[in-house]
Structure 1
Amino acid sequence: MRQMHKALIAAALGSVFYSQASIAEVSANIGVTSNYLWRGVTQSADGPSVSGGLDYEHESGFYAGTWIGSIDWGNGNGAEVDWYFGYAGEAGDFGYDVGYVYYAYPEEEFDDSNFGEAYANGSFGALGFGLAYTLNADADDDAPFGQGDIYYHISYGFDLPQEYSLGLTYGYYDFDIDESVWGDWNYSHVQADLSKGDFTFSISKAQEESGDDDTKFVVSWGTSF
């Protein structure tokens, strides 16, 4: 599970295709982090994770791609494979990005974990906001990560001296579940990301209901070409 496909995308193929009618680009990315966090919760048992992906982007605003990262949910090591497509553009000072992402977990230990989301993100200057809605899932509809879950987020970025930047994010996960069976899973989380070049230092904290409420200190590196 990840919320990085727009922040750390692109690795192994970096070519550009031209025609008289359009320009399209294929890019690639690789990355490593001391702790793979997704919506405030570790996906790597608070250990390191490596990742890579490929992305196609057309001048019309259409894009598609795939991303793979190593995970550890405490029941064995595995991989997360994401597939996504969408459309992004600008209308004056307002930026928008709508699309669909499918989170797949191929290993047998992660049966019934696959799910897909529709997402809509916007930006106005340094302010970002958006939501993701679970459309389809292997889990039962009234279970966590089943159909109907909604994740909301808002962020703000600052430019700092010496080419540093600071990003602040608040997110809230609203699970559409049978609370008489599952209890209360809804939670919020906050994160601060200090970046320079290809490196990012993050501090993250989620509420107790997330099941992972320790304060996280994370160092990440990623590049695209």
Structure 2
Amino acid sequence: MKSNIAKTAGAAAVALLALSGAASAEDRAFGWSVNVGGTSDYIFRGVSQTDGDPAFQAGADFTYGILYAGIWGSNTDDAFTNSSAEVDFYAGIKPVLGPVTFDFGIIYYYYPGDDFDVADYVEGKAGASISPVKNLSLAATLYYTDEGTFNTGEIFTYEGTAAYTLPSVGIFTPTVSGLVGHSEFDDFSALSYTYWNAGIALAVEKFTFDFRYWDTDIDIISATGENLSDERFVFTAKLALP
């Protein structure tokens, strides 16, 4: 990997694990889940990763107490690197202090088939979430990489999210949510941009159907002439088990 973030994240994990050493055996139960789904357009931080085309996605998550790890993948369309897939490996801890749940983790973005070995990168994450009133959740997260994809140097990304679960309508449980984020490129300031989304997710049994509007304040044009970062509506369907 071309990042030193793993060392910092590892030190933080050791410290927080020491603080949480008094957790009960019940708190350290093992859990797992898998998910599969499809989307009309794979959007990452406001930018299409599939040149405006649909994507198939799948992942698996594992937990043990405050520890978590997982893998997630999607098809992509990158004419520059010739990579047609993204695979994310991630791990971290979620300690709880009073009403606040923290999230400290590390993510490795891997793009198999990258002809130039410039797409893969590692990112650290530090976040916190809270539910000030019933059915409302608020979260803030900072992401950092010291060498972004395509060798774009240091990138700080800030995100704030809000979600509110509404009363059930028939068999569906709706949740309205929104996100505002900003990616700051230290070495290439012209690439810095803000992105946002708003939408509604309908949950029924093991399925979630998400209808979402995305937009940004930057124009990123693909090799085919597609504006990868303009406004768009995206539909996503996902099945999660167990």
In the superposition, relative to structure 1, how do residues 166 and 138 fare at CA in structure 2: closer, same or farther (>3 Å)? closer
* Counterpart contact for 1:62–1:88, Cα < 8 Å: yes
The aligned counterpart of 1:188 is 194
Give the superposition deviation at 1:166.
Answer: 0.6
* Counterpart contact for 1:119–1:131, Cα < 8 Å: yes
Give the superposition deviation at 1:66.
Answer: 0.9
- Match for residue 131 of structure 1 among 142, 153, 157: 142
- Match for residue 113 of structure 2 among 107, 118, 121: 107
Between the aligned partners of 2:119 and 2:156, the Cα distance in structure 1 is 17
Question: Counterpart of 2:144 in structure 1: which amino acid?
Answer: Y
% identical equivalent positions? 27
Give the superposition deviation at 1:135.
Answer: 3.7
The aligned counterpart of 2:11 is none
* Counterpart contact for 1:203–1:217, Cα < 8 Å: yes
Count of aligned residue pairs for this structure pair: 197
In the superposition, relative to structure 1, how do residues 213 and 70 fare at CA in structure 2: closer, same or farther (>3 Å)? closer
Between the aligned partners of 2:187 and 2:64, the Cα distance in structure 1 is 38
Deviation per CA, 1:1-42: give whole Å up to 9, x if none: xxxxxxxxxxxxxxxxxx999421222111110000000000
In the superposition, relative to structure 1, how do residues 110 and 222 fare at CA in structure 2: closer, same or farther (>3 Å)? farther
Unpaired stretches in structure 1, ≥5 consecutive residues? 1-18
The aligned counterpart of 1:224 is 240
In the superposition, relative to structure 1, how do residues 191 and 138 fare at CA in structure 2: closer, same or farther (>3 Å)? closer
The aligned counterpart of 1:7 is none
Between the aligned partners of 2:87 and 2:107, the Cα distance in structure 1 is 10
Between the aligned partners of 2:218 and 2:26, the Cα distance in structure 1 is 55
Between the aligned partners of 1:216 and 1:20, the Cα distance in structure 2 is 44
Please give the secondary structure, in 1, of the residue aligned with 2:112: coil
Between the aligned partners of 2:121 and 2:70, the Cα distance in structure 1 is 17
* Counterpart contact for 1:187–1:209, Cα < 8 Å: no
- Match for residue 65 of structure 1 among 55, 58, 70: 70
Question: Counterpart of 1:173 in structure 2: which amino acid?
Answer: S
Instruction: Give the TM-score normalised by structure 2.
Output: 0.75
Deviation per CA, 1:95-136: give whole Å up to 9, x if none: 111100000101134631100011011112121111100045
In the superposition, relative to structure 1, how do residues 35 and 92 fare at CA in structure 2: closer, same or farther (>3 Å)? same
RMSD: 2.1
- Match for residue 121 of structure 1 among 127, 152, 169: 127
Between the aligned partners of 2:129 and 2:237, the Cα distance in structure 1 is 24
Give the superposition deviation at 1:73.
Answer: 2.4
Give the superposition deviation at 1:72.
Answer: 0.8
Looking at CA atoms only, which structure, 1 or 2, has the larger radius of gyration?
2
